[in-house]
Amino acid sequence: MRGDNKRIGVLTGGGDCPGLNAAIRAVAKTAMLNYSMEVVGIKDGFIGLIENKYSILNYEDVSGILTEGGTFLGASNKANPFKYADLSGKTKDVSSVVLNNARILRLDSLVCIGGDGTLTVAYKLYKKGLKIVGVPKTIDNDLMATDATIGFDSAVVTATEAIDKLHTTAQSHHRVMVLEVMGRYAGWLALCAGVAGGGDIIIIPEIPYDIKKVCQIVKERHKRGKRFSIVVISEGARPRGGKMVVKKIVKDSAEPVRLGGIGNKIASDIESITGLETRVTVLGHLQRGGVPTPFDRILATRLGTFGCDLAAKGEFGKMASLKGRDIVAVSLKEAVRRNRQVNPRDPIIKAAMAVGTSFGV
């Protein structure tokens, strides 16, 4: 029996990233130590509420996980309860099952740690009566209403380290090196890693590139004695007047479009136009792995504790958000209204252009 204590659930949905365990720890420890709540860990994102997969968490379960990457609760990007695929591949709305299982679990509130897909589902469930609070995480950094998301800084560090390493091999073999990073429809990851790593050309979805301009920059560098170039490209980038490169469609996923392949396309174009040897590195899921950076550990702790506070106070339908140096509450509706993309007039872009970085236009 739980007595007068309340029961809070916590789940991690969508793609994994460094900092998720830190966020779970923050929610759970705050609930236990400050509100005497019982904490239910929902397994594998919303699948746990669809298939009733969960565990009651104790203090030891969430101790010693601050520095661990990934999420010990598991995650899934194929768990949209409003469009859930059964074994035959047919999709149906099982949101009522989620609400019923939440009642069976006697959840007084649920903290959803996720990106735009997870939090869009969370907002829909909130409108159906589930008492939900959101905590933002995504390496894409594309959520509205927050200045930063859990996992982004760690992914930037991984991508920057890759650029650092590509510099030495590019210089040794006098090659053009193309690095394709994640980010979906937003260029934050390519932009920040490209600037931090000294990329010569950075290509992002928000600024469609001109392949002639890209090749011109590469050839001009070669003539000046810079016999290598580093091109950092976001997976969602596209040529001017062209389309994004779609790797495949996953029909039973909340995010069915899988981008990928733009790095190979632009490398082939550069090599055929300039005659310069060009190689491609696709970082892929390396960007999601590893331990969280100190920034992400701190951010996850602040957002997680604040999210638990919101749930304890009954402030549902909201998301914990970083605004400047402060953590504040914003509406889930605002957070998932649209993707947060890079403004072509962003100060980071202006600074990069001032030191000679090209954006392929």
* Claim to verify: residue 259 and residue 330 sit in the same structural domain: no
pLDDT score for 129: 97
pLDDT at 91 (0 to 100):
87
Element (H, E) at 318: strand 318-323
One domain, residues 260 and 315: no
Give the pLDDT score at 259: 79
Q: What is the pLDDT of residue 1?
A: 33
Rounded to whole angstroms, how far apart are CA atoms 230 and 174? Answer: 11
* Widest Cα–Cα separation across the chain: 77
Number of other CB atoms surrounding residue 211 within 10 Å: 17
pLDDT band at 77 (very low <50, low <70, confident <90, very high): confident
DSSP state of 199: -
Tens of pLDDT, residues 196-224:
999 999 999 999 999 999 999 999 999 99
Residue 306 DSSP symbol: H
Domain-embedded: residue 42: yes
pTM over 0.85: yes
CATH number at residue 163: 3.40.50.460
Given 140, 153, 200, 309, which residue is catalytic? Answer: 140
Residue 291: CB atoms within 10 A of its CB come to 17
Same domain for 105 and 73: yes
Average pLDDT over residues 241-260: 73
**Domain housing 284:** 155-288
The answer to whether residue 180 is domain-embedded is yes
* Catalytic residue flag (residue 140): yes
Classify 105 as helix, strand or coil.
coil
CATH code (residue 31): 3.40.50.450
User: Is 195 in the same domain as 212?
Assistant: yes
How many whole angstroms separate alpha carbon 207 and alpha carbon 259? 17
Query: 255 pLDDT exceeds 90?
Result: no
